[in-house]
């Protein structure tokens, strides 16, 4: 079965510092991978997605992610975080059993230190 693991429950970084959020997936074929961001009490906003092609994908708000098949990873990165980046980040994978549902990881809460 498909699954997504986000090993870091909570990360705190200083404003202006670089960021990397880890995501590992379990999937039988080429995965469809996503990163979503959720601010407190808000909906889910798609940051970026990987379907195929270039393994380094660029997203909104200066985020990028790299798909590494050998490591089954899709880590999210940002070179310099801003206080407004504080939120919950979810890695997700398109389910193998159907073209529809998305399976989410447990999320990583990002706090920004002034």
Structure tokens at 63: 């985020």
Structure tokens at 3: 């699954």
Candidates 5, 44, 72, 73; binder of other proteins (CB under 8 A) is 44
Decide: is 107 part of the binding site for other proteins (CB under 8 A): yes
Interaction pattern, residues 56-85, with other proteins; x per rule: CB under 8 A? ------------------------------
The strand ranges marked E within the chain are 3-5, 10-14, 19-21, 24-26, 33-38, 44-50, 56-58, 64-68, 73-78, 87-94, 102-104, 108-113
- The least CB distance from residue 89 to other proteins, in Å, is 11
Under the rule (CB under 8 A), what is the footprint of other proteins? 32, 34, 36, 41-46, 49, 51-52, 90, 94-95, 97-107
């Amino acid at each position: 079965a498909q699954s997504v693991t986000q090993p870091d429950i909570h990360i705190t970084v200083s404003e202006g510092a670089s960021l990397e959020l880890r995501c590992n997936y379990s999937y039988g074929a080429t995965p469809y991978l996503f990163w979503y961001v959720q601010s407190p009490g808000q909906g889910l906003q798609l940051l970026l997605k990987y379907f195929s092609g270039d393994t380094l994908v660029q997203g909104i708000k200066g985020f990028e992610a790299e798909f590494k098949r050998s490591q089954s990873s899709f880590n999210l990165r940002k070179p310099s975080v801003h206080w407004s980046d504080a939120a919950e980040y979810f890695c997700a994978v398109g389910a193998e059993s159907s073209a529809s549902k998305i399976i989410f990881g447990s999320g990583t809460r990002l706090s920004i230190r002034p």
